[in-house]
Structure 1
């Protein structure tokens, strides 16, 4: 029966329930004693796997609330994932479309290299060397392939060390910037922006929005809007940057940056900055110079070497460290660059001629100078050596002879006899002058006795002589509408009968007034105006004492007319104006000589008289050893202005001193500090130069009053006859009619 039962079970259906009641080991032992084939074993193996899977599966909680809550969480997570993935996909599509749209609007690479709204003016001296710049300088187009590799590496090391690895934005850089800002107590987006170099280019391009004068108040407002740092703006910059990465190569993006970045002192682009600071192309700069240029990117005005060379060199040291850390330079190269830091070129170091440059800028039309949209070159009469002489002289006198803390100002003009201005100092501030108040050209002040040579010039040309006698005595002049006026000499004394040479040598006032009235105040006024004094001149006899106002430039030009033999001059500094890169002149000037005012003979006598002023008169402190000097002092009432005007055979120099608020000077006359400044200037000007003689009369003996001369004839001491037939008379006759 057992065999039948066993045979029946083995040949019948599988047991459905009893199978589960036995442990797996018991079933395995039972199976091992049977003569079954492999197929049932396979079935048992599958069953075992199912049981194992069921045993390892998590058990569902019997708590309905747990099951509901868990299901809700899973549903929310799936919803969030679906939403995020779809939003991300939509955002990616929108971003792609935005990038594609901006990509289609980006212009060719070559059109983005020069983005200036204004042009520039480069000023060269009389030898053709550049000495000043105005406007927005652009040195010319450069590329990442043409500049010095040191400069290229310095820019990347300083601004964006991962430039060649990212796609326009750097999440790592943004995260680092946020961390730094928060650690320094600022907002996450305040201070460090984490912008890539490409994003900085996007900002320089103002996201492709050009300057429109009808929309923006001025260029400054436009640039301020381009630099705003709002979140929306930064997002736009990021999108624009990614589009640029698609449109341009990395080197093209870097090239745009190198051409458009502002680097201080009016320099736009690294070529202009290299020329401005080092006098060489950006392709020629060494490691130290490259580091200094790259260091300007952080704060161009603050780190400009023309502003503070030491600070700029210290900043360059940080750039050298970055270059070394990133493997662009070796330890030895870094050490050598630190030991030999970059220095300014001679032109940049001197920074001379700021007042002169501003004055010359006004000589041409505004559309080619102050408001030019072109790059213009102005060749000038400027002489750096003479300019330095004037600046050094002014500094020396104020450091050695003026009370410390004095607010007194001074101005100097150096000119050739034909009116060519060689140097100009418009005030005690000598460096970084752009648009400052120029006391040499803009300050109208009374010249005092420095005006007297024009009275004597008129008298000499109308018949008086250098040795003519004149009586220095009390006089009273009735002035219509003002009453009686009695002029006084500076020393409050009267000196009797003197020659006109002595009267000028000692700067007596009464003889000057008498001469002016004798030859006619209108004639004196005409001569002064013809010599170039264009300011309104006084109508009364006080004209002879310099009561009218004039500028130092006008006075210096008038004295140049005396030196050149009596011809008027127009002071000039512009020799030619042309567009950069072209040779044809748009405007030019060969010289400033004008009409003859007095005869050469009269000029020679006047120069001799002024020579005596310096030799043994009021201008003795202006004497130069071994060089003939002629000049005249000038001090106004209450010493509000002090002047010394004079010349050698080669140069005319005018000096003014006073306060800007017209306060009186203390203990200063024209023969004092102004003469000292003049002397120190001319001493430096003539150092190592040949001493040429003055073109003056050279009498065999100094003029003297004959012992038998009666004082009664002194007021009519003018010679008669042919001497009265002079150039001035001819001019007046041609104007008002009469003999030709």
Structure 2
């Protein structure tokens, strides 16, 4: 091996690294190559970072350390949170029931009411039309719900961070708290809320059901976090259509309807599978405020909301421009059944009379066949409106109620106040207990007739006083403040004289009068006082109308009823039959027929003349309570019995109103409409034979003289004969 001046020869093969460029080498003047710097030791980095010195280097180093530390903590914490979240989602996953068990989320069952013809007219309780799957409803409904509630439903994992951020931004911009107003919840999260995070109501754990519902609807951050967790678990276990199916079946859509099928039947009388775009948009629009936007509550407002939903459906491609324009031009309207038949006071009364063993809280769904006649109901409501619009001064707050029933007690119509077509309000027909006034007097005369008195028997109408134990002397007066002397029972009733009624009651016995009234159906306690004959006892209009029905049917008691049959949905045999009807006999049939005759005279000749019908016989009785706080007219034809009450809810006296005035007008207007197209029939009455010789009137009681009526010498129609007689008596003696 030789050496060479200026450097050593290569001892190895080709070098592993490329030669340094010419720029990195220098050449000596003699042409020999020299290195500019000492070659680095093997294994050392050939590039050195310039050392940072001073304060800036110290600060940058400190920030670098902190950054590395934060990253380490955050990454490790995120990993732990992810593991904990996965465990919690996994546990929740195991608690989720099968889809079929959570489709019906009602707290109570439904009640569907049918009229006497079998037509549905009202719904009560929580309506559920049956479970439907997302692929069974109209595609328009499915699309409308997604477009309105969660446009990214098929792409998120149960929670939409973009949606939450957008909702918080909108809330803050509108001056609300971050969680107040728009929630940003996905359909999955809303479904988790509807399921109450899988927690069922247990009366032993909750103070009340309302407290349970309030907890389910809580909107705190902690609650939102739980809903998000539950939503992710559902996304893991159920398909997207499963979650949408639960949502469509459990969502409340107003008017007592839970779920798409119930709402579709309630508002449009069609299945959810047959909904048109405008109908589907209306249902989807109810999800934000079901009670306020319900079309049965405010149709125009509901239609306006549906138009907004149609715009969303068009913007997201679910409807073409032509389809959207056509839907907006033809907004959804209620079906005739939903528009016309809301049940109102009658349906509320039916719910109050359900037998105790039929409990809607048990979630049983029942069908009730009722006695309601919708033609008669409409007639009563129209009569109420006609009289108040034309005969009652504007601004008056006076109220009225109407009941119409058949002679066996089957209630055909009920109006519980001036405002018709409402429900869930105070029902003056069945709940208001008021003084009956002179409308009670037929029970006094019924007792007398039952004891053998004749309608042609006489009683003296005169000033009258009597001692009442514990109260002292009592001197009642007639409403007219005058007296008519001897009169028949017929005249005493038709002119509603107080003194004769008191005398007849005292003669028959107050205890018997009370028994007859109670047996006829007056449920309130009948006072044991001489004033019982004047109607100081109280009763509801329903009770009074039922009691008069007992007079019409021949003297048998009546229990007013509205239920013909009650059937659990799916069963063939009724669970409950007729709830009421005719009962035991109270007075003899002949006595009842004579009383009908007397009551007919009240309408044809007496205080009830304003109630006369143009084409048929009618009978009835007026009533005005103490200080004119209540005004009544209760009466009947051969076909129907009707009662009318009028007064103020706060017992303010009526001004210029008696039973023979506005109540008789309402009664006449009602019965004229009710009997339209019905062949007239005679009343079931008996006119007794008048006495051949009128008995001498009994002298007034000695302790009760008539100071204003002095005995007058009997006047003769033959003055010549009287003169001759006196001359002969003077001549021949007496």
Do Structure 1 and Structure 2 share a fold, with TM-score over 0.5? Answer: yes
SS at the partner of 2:538? Answer: coil
Does the 8 Å contact 1:499/1:705 carry over to 2?
no
Map Cα deviations across residues 463-510 of structure 1 (whole Å, 9 max, x no partner). 233334443333333333333333322222222333322222221222
* Equivalent of residue 132 in structure 2, options 142, 149, 163: 142
Per-residue deviation at 1:91? 2.1
SS at the partner of 1:164? Answer: coil
Map Cα deviations across residues 29-78 of structure 1 (whole Å, 9 max, x no partner). x99xx9xxxxx9xx9xxx9xxxxx98xx7952452544444333333333
Per-residue deviation at 1:706? 7.3
In the TM superposition, what are the counterparts of 1:279-678 in structure 2 within 5 Å? Answer: 279-350=269-340, 352-369=342-359, 371-434=361-424, 436-589=425-578, 591-678=580-667
Does the 8 Å contact 1:351/1:432 carry over to 2?
no
Shift of the 62–468 alpha-carbon distance from structure 1 to 2, 3 Å rule, reads closer
Alpha-carbon distance between aligned partners in 1 of 2:308 and 2:396, rounded to the nearest angstrom: 41
Q: Please name the residue that 2:209 is paired with.
A: 219
Shift of the 422–372 alpha-carbon distance from structure 1 to 2, 3 Å rule, reads farther
Does the 8 Å contact 2:109/2:360 carry over to 1?
no
Does the 8 Å contact 2:415/2:429 carry over to 1?
yes
* Equivalent of residue 680 in structure 2, options 663, 671, 691: 691
Q: Please name the residue that 1:718 is paired with.
A: none
Map Cα deviations across residues 367-409 of structure 1 (whole Å, 9 max, x no partner). 5246444223322212222222222222222222112222222
Counterpart check, 1:163 vs 2:149: no
Q: Please name the residue that 2:192 is paired with.
A: 202
Alpha-carbon distance between aligned partners in 1 of 2:432 and 2:691, rounded to the nearest angstrom: 41
Q: Please name the residue that 2:709 is paired with.
A: none
Alpha-carbon distance between aligned partners in 1 of 2:694 and 2:220, rounded to the nearest angstrom: 95
Does the 8 Å contact 2:108/2:360 carry over to 1?
no
Does 61-70 or 419-428 show the bigger shift? 61-70
Shift of the 547–189 alpha-carbon distance from structure 1 to 2, 3 Å rule, reads closer
Per-residue deviation at 1:585? 2.3
Alpha-carbon distance between aligned partners in 1 of 2:423 and 2:323, rounded to the nearest angstrom: 37
Map Cα deviations across residues 421-443 of structure 1 (whole Å, 9 max, x no partner). 12222223334321x33222222
Does the 8 Å contact 1:159/1:197 carry over to 2?
yes
Does the 8 Å contact 1:369/1:376 carry over to 2?
no
Alpha-carbon distance between aligned partners in 2 of 1:101 and 1:637, rounded to the nearest angstrom: 72
Q: Please name the residue that 1:133 is paired with.
A: 123
Per-residue deviation at 1:158? 0.7
Counterpart check, 1:254 vs 2:244: yes
SS at the partner of 1:578? Answer: strand
Map Cα deviations across residues 274-314 of structure 1 (whole Å, 9 max, x no partner). 22222222222222211111111101111111221111111
* Equivalent of residue 77 in structure 2, options 80, 87, 91: 87
Map Cα deviations across residues 407-461 of structure 1 (whole Å, 9 max, x no partner). 2221211111001112222223334321x33222222222111111122222223
Q: Please name the residue that 2:698 is paired with.
A: 712
Alpha-carbon distance between aligned partners in 2 of 1:294 and 1:354, rounded to the nearest angstrom: 27
Does 459-468 or 660-669 show the bigger shift? 459-468
Per-residue deviation at 1:632? 0.7
Shift of the 686–184 alpha-carbon distance from structure 1 to 2, 3 Å rule, reads same
Shift of the 108–506 alpha-carbon distance from structure 1 to 2, 3 Å rule, reads same
Per-residue deviation at 1:121? 2.5
Shift of the 22–687 alpha-carbon distance from structure 1 to 2, 3 Å rule, reads same
Does the 8 Å contact 2:456/2:690 carry over to 1?
yes
Per-residue deviation at 1:698? 6.1
Per-residue deviation at 1:709? 4.8
Counterpart check, 1:102 vs 2:92: yes
Q: Please name the residue that 2:180 is paired with.
A: 190
Alpha-carbon distance between aligned partners in 1 of 2:400 and 2:361, rounded to the nearest angstrom: 30
SS at the partner of 2:698? Answer: helix
Structure 1 length-normalised TM: 0.86
Does 175-184 or 487-496 show the bigger shift? 487-496
SS at the partner of 1:587? Answer: coil
Alpha-carbon distance between aligned partners in 1 of 2:306 and 2:48, rounded to the nearest angstrom: 66
RMSD, aligned CA: 3.1
Alpha-carbon distance between aligned partners in 2 of 1:601 and 1:108, rounded to the nearest angstrom: 69
Does the 8 Å contact 1:497/1:705 carry over to 2?
no
Counterpart check, 1:77 vs 2:67: yes
* Equivalent of residue 113 in structure 1, options 65, 84, 103: 103
SS at the partner of 1:221? Answer: helix
Shift of the 61–396 alpha-carbon distance from structure 1 to 2, 3 Å rule, reads farther
Shift of the 22–156 alpha-carbon distance from structure 1 to 2, 3 Å rule, reads closer
Does 629-638 or 79-88 show the bigger shift? 79-88
Shift of the 227–547 alpha-carbon distance from structure 1 to 2, 3 Å rule, reads closer
Shift of the 372–103 alpha-carbon distance from structure 1 to 2, 3 Å rule, reads closer
Q: Please name the residue that 2:726 is paired with.
A: none
Per-residue deviation at 1:598? 2.2
Alpha-carbon distance between aligned partners in 1 of 2:416 and 2:458, rounded to the nearest angstrom: 40
Per-residue deviation at 1:21? 11
Aligned residues: 685
Is there any run of 5+ residues in structure 2 with no aligned partner, and where?
A: 12-18, 40-44, 702-734
Map Cα deviations across residues 629-664 of structure 1 (whole Å, 9 max, x no partner). 111100112111110001111111111111222221
Shift of the 93–324 alpha-carbon distance from structure 1 to 2, 3 Å rule, reads same
Per-residue deviation at 1:25? 10
SS at the partner of 2:245? Answer: helix
In the TM superposition, what are the counterparts of 1:714-733 in structure 2 within 5 Å? Answer: none
Map Cα deviations across residues 488-540 of structure 1 (whole Å, 9 max, x no partner). 22222222333322222221222222322333333322222221112211223
